C-alpha cells in the first residue's frame, strides 16, 4: 500500500520519479506527490488524484522541476482522507526536510501531542507528518546528523514504516529505512541510486538491488555511495541481488487492461509454475524449495493454511487437495483472524502461508505467531525476495510473473497449481495415493495449460453473457466440493471491480437462507462441471429454476442436463475433479472483467483498493 520512489545521482530526478510512480500506482492511487532538491531548495508538488493529475498540475505550473535528487509517493489513505494536504511528501515545520512514508505509525497520537506541546504545528491529519516533525525535533535539539536523527526517531515509533527522508542541509544524501513495509534500493552505474517500495520502478534502470531488512537504515550518498546501518547503530553488510524481473512483464503488451492481459497469461503462468517440478513423462513431482521439509509434511498431524482474499480462496482449494490426496487434516484461516485469536498451534503443525505480493501485513504477522510456537512455515508467494518468503522456513514460488491488476487472477491459478503439486508430492512421499491415480493426475495436470487456452476461446460468448447481466444489483455464485472456493472467488472478482454486490456459497447451503433472495431478477452463477457432486448441484439448479432465478452455469463440454435448465451455459473441457478450479475460475474472471468494463469501472485500479495490503 502506498508507492514510494526516490532517486539520487547524476540524472534529472523528476522523469525517473514520475515514471516510477506510474509503475507503482497499483499500490495506491488516491493522491500523489514529488519533492525535488536543487541548489539547497526543496520544491514540492502534491495533489489528490492519480499520478496523471499530478503531472498535469506540474505541467500547468511551469513544467518539470529540475534537480538530481528527489522523492515521490502515491498514496492509499490510512490516516486522513485523500486530499492535497494529506498527500505526501510531508515537511518539517521549516520545510527543510521532507519525507514519504508507507505503513502506520501506531503511537502517532501521543507523539503528536508531545510535539504540539513543544511548538510543532501540523498541517495534515497524517501519521507521516508526525514522524518528520519528530525527526526534525531530534535533529535540532540533539544537534545530530540526519541519519542519527532518523535513527533515534525510529527507536521511538511503534508501528510499520518504509520511509525516505530528504534534507536540504544534506543535499547529497537520502536516508531510507523500513520495518514491516517493504523497501528496496537499486544500485545503478555511476553512483545512481533508486529507492522504491518494490522493484517495478527500478528494473528499467538497474538489475542490482538490495532489499532492506526490518529496522535497517540506508544512507545513500551521491559521493560516498551506499551504507547500511540498523536502528541500533550497527553497520550491516548489504546483500546485492540480481533482479529476474523483465521490463515487458510490467507493460500491458497490447491489452486494454493489465487484468485482461493477466487472465490471458494463465496458460503460461500455470506452465511456469509447474516448470521443472512436474515431470509427467517420468512420473515425478518434486518441489526443490520444500524438499528438505518433506518429512515434516509426511508426519504432520495437521496443516494450517493462511492467507487473505483470493489467496485465502486458493487455500480453500488447498484444503480439498491435501485432505483428498495426502489425507492430512487441514484448517484454512484468514490470517487477520488467526493472528488475534490465540490459536492452538503445535510444533508438528505445518503452516502454509499463501500470498501473491508476499507483503500482506496480516499474513506476515500470522506467520510470526505460528513461528513463535514452533510450527514449520512454508510459503507460496509470487514476488521473489518479498517479506513473506524471507520470513518462512522454506517454500515454493508461484512464478506467475508480476501481477499489476489489483484483482488477482493469474496469481490464483498459479497458487492452486503449486498447491496441487505440493499435495501430490506429499501424497506420493506418504504413500496415501495409488500409483494409478498419481500418474493420471500428473498427465491431467500437464494438460491444464492447453485446456485453459480452450476456455479463453470462450471470451466472446462470456462477453455476450456479461452484457445481459451488467446492470444487476446482486448476484449469487454457487459451487460444491472443489468448486465451492471458485464460487467465492467469482463473487469476490465481481464485487471488487464492478461494485455489484455478490455472494459465494456452497450450493447446498442455499436452502438454509440465500434461497430467500431468489426471484426473476437474481442471476445465479453455478459452477457445475461433472464430478462427485454433479447430481446434487443439478438438484440445486432445479431449486433455483423453480423460483425463476436466472441460471448461468459453467459445465463440462457435451453436458445436456444443465443446458436444458439454464439461461446460459459456458462449456469447459473435462479434467479430473481436483483440477477443475484451474478451469472453472477462468470464465468467472472474464465475466467480471467484461461487466466492469461495460459499467465504466476502473478495472485495474478499483476504488478503495490497493494491490498489496501492507497495513492491518
- Please list every residue from 16 through 55 that binds ligand M6R, using CB under 6 A: none
Length of the chain: 616
* Total chain residues near ligand M6R (CB under 6 A): 16
- Give the cell for residue 178: 523500513
**Residue 140: CA count within 13 A, CB half-sphere:** 12
Q: Which of 2, 47, 381, 578 is catalytic?
A: 2
Among 181, 363, 387, 575, binds ligand M6R (CB under 6 A): 363
C-alpha triplet 605, 390, 197: angle, nearest 5°: 35
Of 407 and 442, CB closest to ligand M6R: 407
Least Å distance, CB 310 to ligand M6R, is: 3
Of 68 and 363, CB closest to ligand M6R: 363
Which window, 15-23, 307-315, 536-544, 575-583, contacts ligand M6R (CB under 6 A)?
Answer: 307-315
Hey, CA dihedral for 341, 347, 349, 354, is it positive or negative?
A: positive
- Give the cell for residue 249: 512483464
Q: Which of 48, 178, 550, 611 is catalytic?
A: 611
Least Å distance, CB 512 to ligand M6R, is: 26
The residues, any chain, with a CB within 8 Å of residue 27's CB and separated by 6 or more, are 1, 2, 3, 74, 76, 197, 198, 610, 611, 612
Least Å distance, CB 613 to ligand M6R, is: 5
Q: Which residue is nearest to ligand M6R (CB)?
A: 309
Among 308, 316, 572, 591, binds ligand M6R (CB under 6 A): 308
The secondary structure of 288-334 as a DSSP string is GGGGGGHHHHHH-SEEEEEE-HHHHHHHHHHHHHIIIII---EEEEE
- Please list every residue from 447 through 506 that binds ligand M6R, using CB under 6 A: 496
Of 96 and 614, CB closest to ligand M6R: 614
Q: Which helix (H) or strand (E) holds 35?
A: strand 31-38
Least Å distance, CB 443 to ligand M6R, is: 30
Q: Any contact of residue 578 with ligand M6R (CB under 6 A)?
A: no
Which window, 13-21, 31-39, 306-314, 543-551, contacts ligand M6R (CB under 6 A)?
Answer: 306-314
Which window, 40-48, 118-126, 391-399, 402-410, contacts ligand M6R (CB under 6 A)?
Answer: 402-410
Among 3, 309, 389, 506, binds ligand M6R (CB under 6 A): 309
Closest CA to 363 of 394, 387, 383: 387
The two beta strands, 241-242 and 208-211, are: antiparallel
The residues, any chain, with a CB within 8 Å of residue 557's CB and separated by 6 or more, are 571, 572, 573, 574
Which window, 140-148, 200-208, 276-284, 352-360, contacts ligand M6R (CB under 6 A)?
Answer: 352-360
Of 34 and 304, CB closest to ligand M6R: 304
Q: If 0-12 CB within 10 Å is exposed, 13-18 middle and 19+ buried, where does residue 239 land? A: exposed
- Give the cell for residue 574: 473435462
> Is residue 578 annotated as part of the catalytic site, yes or no?
no
Of 138 and 380, CB closest to ligand M6R: 380
Least Å distance, CB 208 to ligand M6R, is: 25
For residues 232 and 586, give the distance between their C-alpha atoms in angstroms, rounded to a whole number. Answer: 50
> Is residue 601 annotated as part of the catalytic site, yes or no?
no
- Give the cell for residue 148: 542519527
Q: Any contact of residue 408 with ligand M6R (CB under 6 A)?
A: yes
Among 184, 350, 407, 572, binds ligand M6R (CB under 6 A): 407
Q: Any contact of residue 406 with ligand M6R (CB under 6 A)?
A: yes
For residues 224 and 233, give the distance between their C-alpha atoms in angstroms, rounded to a whole number. Answer: 18
> Which residue numbers are catalytic?
2, 611
Residues in touch with ligand M6R (CB under 6 A): 308-311, 355-357, 360, 363, 406-408, 496, 609, 612-613
Amino acid at each position: 500500500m502506498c508507492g514510494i520512489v526516490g532517486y539520487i545521482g547524476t540524472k534529472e530526478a523528476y522523469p525517473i520519479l514520475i515514471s516510477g510512480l506510474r509503475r507503482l500506482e497499483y499500490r495506491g492511487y488516491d493522491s500523489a506527490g514529488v519533492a525535488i532538491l536543487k541548489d539547497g531548495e526543496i520544491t514540492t508538488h502534491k495533489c489528490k488524484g492519480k499520478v496523471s493529475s499530478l503531472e498535469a498540475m506540474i505541467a500547468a505550473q511551469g513544467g518539470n522541476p529540475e534537480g538530481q535528487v528527489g522523492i515521490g509517493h502515491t498514496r492509499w489513505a490510512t490516516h486522513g482522507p485523500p486530499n492535497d494536504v494529506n498527500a505526501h511528501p510531508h515537511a518539517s515545520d521549516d520545510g527543510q526536510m521532507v519525507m514519504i512514508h508507507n505503513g502506520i505509525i501506531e503511537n502517532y497520537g501521543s507523539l503528536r501531542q508531545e510535539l504540539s506541546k513543544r511548538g510543532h504545528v501540523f498541517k495534515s491529519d497524517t501519521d507521516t507528518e508526525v514522524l518528520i516533525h519528530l525527526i526534525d525535533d531530534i535533529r535540532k535539539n540533539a544537534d545530530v546528523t540526519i541519519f542519527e536523527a532518523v535513527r533515534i526517531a525510529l527507536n521511538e515509533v511503534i508501528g510499520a514504516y518504509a520511509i525516505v527522508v530528504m534534507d536540504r542541509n544534506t543535499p547529497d544524501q537520502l536516508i531510507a529505512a523500513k520495518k514491516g513495509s517493504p523497501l528496496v534500493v537499486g544500485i545503478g552505474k555511476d553512483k545512481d541510486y533508486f529507492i522504491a517500495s518494490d522493484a517495478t520502478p527500478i528494473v528499467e534502470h538497474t538489475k542490482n538491488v538490495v532489499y532492506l531488512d526490518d529496522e535497517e537504515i540506508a544512507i545513500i550518498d551521491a559521493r560516498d555511495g551506499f551504507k547500511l546501518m540498523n536502528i541500533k547503530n550497527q553497520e550491516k553488510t548489504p546483500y546485492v541481488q540480481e533482479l529476474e524481473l523483465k521490463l515487458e512483464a510490467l507493460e500491458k503488451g497490447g491489452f486494454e487492461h493489465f487484468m485482461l492481459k493477466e487472465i490471458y497469461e494463465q496458460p503460461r503462468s500455470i506452465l511456469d509454475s509447474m516448470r521443472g517440478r512436474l515431470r509427467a513423462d517420468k512420473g515425478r513431482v518434486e518441489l526443490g524449495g520444500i524438499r528438505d521439509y518433506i518429512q515434516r509434511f509426511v508426519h504432520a498431524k495437521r496443516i494450517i493454511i493462511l492467507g487473505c482474499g483470493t489467496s485465502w480462496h486458493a487455500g480453500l482449494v488447498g484444503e480439498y487437495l491435501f485432505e483428498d490426496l495426502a489425507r492430512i487434516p487441514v484448517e484454512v484461516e484468514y490470517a487477520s483472524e488467526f493472528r488475534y485469536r490465540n490459536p492452538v498451534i503445535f510444533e508438528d503443525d505445518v503452516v502454509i502461508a499463501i500470498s501473491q505480493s508476499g507483503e500482506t501485513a496480516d499474513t506476515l504477522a500470522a506467520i510470526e505467531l505460528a513461528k513463535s510456537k514452533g510450527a514449520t512455515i512454508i510459503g507460496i508467494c509470487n514476488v521473489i525476495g518479498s517479506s513473506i518468503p524471507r520470513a518462512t522456513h522454506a517454500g515454493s514460488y508461484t512464478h506467475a510473473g508480476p501481477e499489476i491488476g489489483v484483482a488477482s487472477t493469474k496469481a490464483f491459478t498459479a497458487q492452486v497449481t503449486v498447491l496441487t503439486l505440493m499435495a501430490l508430492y506429499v501424497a506420493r512421499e506418504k504413500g496415501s495415493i495409488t500409483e494409478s491415480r498419481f500418474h493420471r493426475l500428473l498427465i491431467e495436470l500437464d494438460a491444464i495449460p492447453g485446456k485453459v487456452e480452450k476456455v479463453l476461446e470462450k471470451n466472446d460468448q462470456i462477453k455476450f453473457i456479461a452484457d445481459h447481466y451488467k446492470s444487476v444489483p446482486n448476484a449469487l455464485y454457487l459451487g460444491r466440493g472443489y468448486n465451492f472456493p471458485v464460487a467465492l472467488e467469482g463473487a469476490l472478482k465481481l464485487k471488487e471491480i464492478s461494485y455489484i454486490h455478490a455472494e459465494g456459497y456452497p450450493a447446498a447451503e442455499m436452502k438454509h437462507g440465500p434461497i430467500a433472495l431468489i426471484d426473476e431478477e437474481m442471476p445465479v452463477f453455478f459452477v457445475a462441471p461433472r464430478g462427485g457432486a454433479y447430481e446434487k448441484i443439478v438438484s440445486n439448479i432445479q431449486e433455483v429454476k423453480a423460483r425463476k432465478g436466472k441460471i448461468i452455469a459453467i459445465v463440462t463440454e457435451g453436458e445436456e442436463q444443465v443446458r436444458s435448465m439454464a439461461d446460459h451455459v459456458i462449456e469447459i473441457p473435462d479434467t479430473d475433479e481436483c483440477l477443475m478450479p484451474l478451469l472453472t475460475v477462468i470464465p468467472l474472471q472474464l465475466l467480471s472483467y467484461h461487466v466492469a468494463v461495460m459499467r465504466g469501472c476502473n478495472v485495474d485500479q478499483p476504488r478503495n483498493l490497493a494491490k498489496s495490503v501492507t497495513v492491518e
